[in-house]
Structure 1
C-alpha cells in the first residue's frame, strides 16, 4: 500500500510539474528599441510587416507579411509572446502553396479576428496579382486554431464592386465584426459590417472621408469613443498620420486631425494594440518603417512602436521615444525621455554625420555641414561604469569603433566597441572609445565635408575636441 501511495504521489507530482511547465511565464516589463528590425527567440528577423496582433489566453499572436526577395508574397507568419518583446515563431500560417490563387500574388496587411460564435479564427487581407495593384481585392482565410494552417476562402471586391486595398478589422464590444479598407484608388475609406461568421461583407455602413486620400487604417475603441488612425497615400514613403473620432462606428465622424510629426517618425501605421492589465489599458501604436523607402525590400523593414496618449476623451497624441517599456501584465506603456545632441568638431565647426541619412548597418560616419538632420543627432544612453552608447536619432543604430573607421551598427549593450566615455577638455569634450582608449577623431584634421570619423590616439588636437549641441 505504501508503495502504491508513493507511485501515485510521484505521478501526481510529475503531472503537476508538466502543467506548470506548459503554462506561459508571467510577463515582466520589457524595453524595446524603436526603429529596428526585431528578432525572434531563435535570433531570426521577425517578418510580421503590415501586421496585426490578437490576444488569445495569456499570449499575444502577431501576424504579418513575409515576402520573397522580389517583394512578392511568400508567407503570412505567426509569432507569439507573453510580454510583447520576446517573440516565438509559430507557423507560416498562409503560404504560396495554400491555394493556387496564392502561387503568384501579393498579400498585404493580414489581420486576424476571433469569432466567438463559430469558434473560428478569421484572417482578412489585401490581395493583388503579384505584379501590380490592379486587382484591389479583399481576401479571407479561416482556421480552427490561432496559429494553425489557415484555409483559403477566396478573394473578391467588397459587395462585388468596391476596390479594396489597405485593410484592417475590428470586433466591437457587442461582437459585431467590421472590415475597413481603402477604396476608389485609396481616395475613400470604407467601413463594412461583416456577416455573423466574419467571413463575408454584410453592408457598407460608412464612407466618412470621401475623397480624403487616406490609407493604412487602424481602428480602436477607448472609453466608448472610436478612433480611426490613418496615413496619407505616398506609397512606401512615410507621411503625416491623421486620426478621426466618433461615438458610433457608423458616424458622424470628425474630420482628420494630425498626430505625431510630419513622417510619423519615419513609419506608417499598421495597427493600434490595446494592452490591458491590472493597472488599466494602454494603447500602443504599431508602425512599419518600410524597407522600400530606404532602398531595401519589405523584408528589410523596421518597426516603430510608440505609446499613444489622450489629452481628452476625443484627442490623441504621439511622441517619439527611442525606447519603449511595456508592462503587459500591468497594462502600461511608457517611452524613454531621451535628449538628442549634435557633435560639432572644434577645428571645422562641422557635425558628426551619417551620410545620406542612411538607415543601414555599416554606414561609416563622417563630418558634414550642420543642418539639423536627425542623422546628426545622438542620444547619449548611459550603459554603466561611466560609459554611453551613442544612438543615432534617425536610424536607432549605435556608433561602433572599428579598426579603420566608425560605423553605425545594431545596438548591443554588451559590445564594448559601442561604449564611449565623455570627458571635459576645457569647454569641449573628448569622446573616448572603451575598447582601445582612443579618441573620436576627424581623419587628418580635415575641414572638408565627408571627411571620415575614426578613432586615434588621444593627442589634444582640435579635431578630437567636440561641442555637444542641442
Structure 2
C-alpha cells in the first residue's frame, strides 16, 4: 500500500512537472544569438508561440546562397537561453521544397483540431515570381511539420511577407504583402487554420509596405510594418484599428529612420504576474552588410504605449526580460566619441562596417554611429567599448585594434586614466595603450596598441 502511494505520488510529479522558473535575463542587441550548445540561432524572419511554460521560436535557416535549408525550432523559458529542438521543416518535406525560398514562417495553435499550423511565404528559389503562401501542420509544437502545399490566396492574390494572428475569440488570420508589396491584405482563415476563408481588408492599398506584425492590446489592433527596400533597413510604421475589418488609421512612423538597423519580424506579448509587455523582434539582415541570411543578427526592443492607440520604440544596447513578471526594460547608454589629441580625428569603424574583424582607424569626425562607443563598465574598474553601429567590442590584436563579438575577454577590457583633460586607454591583456600608428594625422591611419609613452597620439578626448 505504501509502495502504491509512492508510485502515485511519483506519477503525479511527472504529470505536473514543468520547466524551472525563469529568472530575468539580459539580451545584447544587434548580435547573433547562440543556443545552449553555443551554435548560432537561425530563426530569421521568424515568430514565437508560447506552449505551456516554454516559448517556441521558429525561423529561417538557409543555405549559403540564401535558398531554403530548414525551418528551425528552438525553445526557452526566459527568451535568452534557447535550446535547439529540431529542423521541423526540411527540403525532404516535399518535392517543391528541394529548390525553394521559404520565408517568415509563423506557427499558430488550433484549439479545435489540436494541430499546430505553420504559414510561410514560398518562392521557387530562383526569383520572386511565385509569390505564394504555404502551409504545413504538426501534432506537436516542435515535431515534423507535414507539407500541405502552396497557393496564392483565393486563387488570385500574390502573397509575400506574412504573419499570422489568433484573435481572442479563436478566429485565425493571415496578413500578407500583395501586388508586388504595394498592398497589405488581411485574410480570415478557415476553421482549421489551413486555408483562406475570405479577404477581410486591404486598408493601405498602394502603401508599399511589407514585414507585417499584427498584435492586439486591450481592444486595439496594432499593425507594425516595414517599407519595401529589400534587405536594407528603413522607417517602420504602424497603424491601429478597433476591428480588423477597419477602419484603420494611416501609417505613423515609429523608432528611428532605420528601425535601429532592423526589420520587423514579430511582436511578442510577454505575459506574467505583473501584466503584459510587448517585445519587438527584428532582423538585422546579413545581406545588408555583406553577408548572407545566416549572418543576420537580432534586434529585440520593448514597445511602449503613450496612449491606448499609439506606440513608441527606442534603442537600448541591452534589454532585460522577466518572463515570470511579464516585464521588459532597456539599459540606457551614453555613446561617446574618441578624438585623438594630435590629429583631432575620431576613432572610426571604416565604411560603417558591421562585420567582425574590421580594423579601426582614425577619420574626420562626422557624428556617425561608426564613431560612437558605449563605455560599458565591467568588473575591476575596466570598460568594454561597444560600437553604436555594430554592437561589437573594441578588441586588441597583435597588429591592429578590431571590432569583434563581445566576449568579456581581457583583450576587450580597457582601463582609463585621465590627465590634463585627456584620457589614455590601456588594454587589460597587454598593458599597452590605444595609439594612432606612427602618430599619423592622415585619415584612415590605423589604430593599434603600443607601449604607453604619454604621446599625444595616445591621448583622447571623450565627447558626446
Name the counterpart of 2:398: 403
Name the counterpart of 2:364: 369
Report the number of matched residues: 464
- Map 1:118-267 to 2 at 5 A: 118-267=113-262
Shift of 1:126: 0.3
Shift of 1:397: 0.6
Q: Which of 419, 433, 438 does residue 439 from structure 1 map onto?
A: 433
- Map 1:2-401 to 2 at 5 A: 5=2, 23-401=18-396
- Cα distance in 2, alignment partners of residues 16 and 435 from structure 1: 54
Q: Secondary structure at the match of 1:47?
A: coil
Q: Secondary structure at the match of 1:316?
A: strand
- Cα distance in 1, alignment partners of residues 277 and 161 from structure 2: 25
Shift of 1:435: 1.4
Cα deviation per residue 1:413-434 (whole Å; 9 max; x = unaligned)? 2x11111111111111111111
Q: Secondary structure at the match of 1:375?
A: helix
Q: Secondary structure at the match of 1:178?
A: strand
- Cα distance in 1, alignment partners of residues 282 and 69 from structure 2: 21
- Cα distance in 1, alignment partners of residues 84 and 366 from structure 2: 42
Q: Which of 409, 414, 418 does residue 412 from structure 2 map onto?
A: 418
Shift of 1:11: 5.7
Name the counterpart of 2:443: 449
- Cα distance in 1, alignment partners of residues 64 and 10 from structure 2: 47
Q: What is the TM-score of this pair, normalised by structure 2?
A: 0.98
Runs of 4+ in 1 over 3 A off after TM superposition: 7-20
Q: Secondary structure at the match of 1:359?
A: coil
Q: What is the TM-score of this pair, normalised by structure 1?
A: 0.97
Cα deviation per residue 1:156-193 (whole Å; 9 max; x = unaligned)? 00000000000000000000100000000000000000
Shift of 1:103: 0.7
Which range moves more in the overlay, 404-413 or 240-249? 404-413
Shift of 1:13: 7.7
Shift of 1:23: 2.5
Cα deviation per residue 1:217-265 (whole Å; 9 max; x = unaligned)? 0000001100000000000000000000001111000000000000000
- Cα distance in 2, alignment partners of residues 289 and 432 from structure 1: 32
- Cα distance in 2, alignment partners of residues 400 and 55 from structure 1: 38
- Cα distance in 1, alignment partners of residues 436 and 269 from structure 2: 47
Shift of 1:438: 1.2
Shift of 1:391: 0.2
Cα deviation per residue 1:438-464 (whole Å; 9 max; x = unaligned)? 111101100011111111111110000
- For structure 2, the 5+ residue unaligned runs are none
Q: Secondary structure at the match of 2:291?
A: coil
- Cα distance in 1, alignment partners of residues 21 and 202 from structure 2: 43
Q: Secondary structure at the match of 1:311?
A: strand
- Cα distance in 2, alignment partners of residues 26 and 445 from structure 1: 55
- Cα distance in 2, alignment partners of residues 25 and 376 from structure 1: 42
